[in-house]
Chain A
Amino acid sequence: QQQVKQSPQSLIVQKGGISIINCAYENTAFDYFPWYQQFPGKGPALLIAIRPDVSEKKEGRFTISFNKSAKQFSLHIMDSQPGDSATYFCAASINAGNMLTFGGGTRLMVKP
């Protein structure tokens, strides 16, 4: 499987701050890049996704930035809240419905 590398492994942010999680991929055939949020004991929930024809996508407090030439993409969580404390996974696939290759995850803790 082609790798997707995610950093940092863990992140602590103060309430109201910006959380930034980065991912890098190898396979240039990937054309779909989703982010999932997972709470303990639950399945991953789709947060936001981007395709390589745009460099940025924003949905509420969540923004994906995409750099095709660098093969990197990142998730920004603005105005981070304690309820955002969870594990976040980036992923990539060739077409949205196909096999997802996941990063290793980032455990985010937002301190009140």
Chain B
Amino acid sequence: ETGVTQSPTHLIKTRGQQVTLRCSSQSGHNTVSWYQQALGQGPQFIFQYYREEENGRGNFPPRFSGLQFPNYSSELNVNALELDDSALYLCASSLEGMGSEQYFGPGTRLTVT
């Protein structure tokens, strides 16, 4: 069984740029959630995708957007990067729309300068 994978591992962007982060869910999982973890803090929910549809969103502005593909992999896109967007971005996958545990990937460390 393959776990959750994310790419890239880390990247550095300049304020105002756009970034795309990628996530491959655990085998058989059809739900993907994205979280932002600032240094020294707990993860904060960005949004969730279930069967290619957004299925819940946290308190993040519209410049944070996402996609889920038919193979259940997912992308997180962030436009007009701000310095405060520097964080570890975590992807978690689970089985079915609700009711099963979420398993996290290793994260992508984004630094905005």
Contacts and interface: CB of A to CB of B under 8 A. Distances in A.
B37 to A, nearest CB: 8
Interface residues of B, number: 30
A110 B48 CA distance: 35
Contacts of B99: 95-97
B94 A96 contact: yes
Interface stretch (B12-20, B69-77, B102-110): B102-110
Interface centre among B98, B102, B106 (most CB of A within 10 A): B102
A102 B90 contact: no
Contact of A34 (B58, B95, B101, B106): B101
B94 A44 contact: no
Contacts of B98: 95-98
DSSP majority for the A interface?
loop
A104 B42 CA distance: 5
Interface in A82-105: 89, 91, 95-105
Contacts, number: 71
Interface string B12-55: 00000000000000000001010100001111110010000000
B104 A98 contact: no
Contact of B59 (A1, A45, A102): A1
A46 interface: yes
B58 A96 contact: no
Nearest to A43: B104
Contacts of B59: 1
Contacts of B107: 42-43
B100 to A, nearest CB: 5
B67 to A, nearest CB: 19
Contact of A98 (B48, B95, B103, B105): B48
Interface in A23-45: 34, 36, 41-45
B43 A96 contact: no
Nearest to A104: B42
Contact of B41 (A44, A45, A95, A105): A105
B100 A96 contact: yes
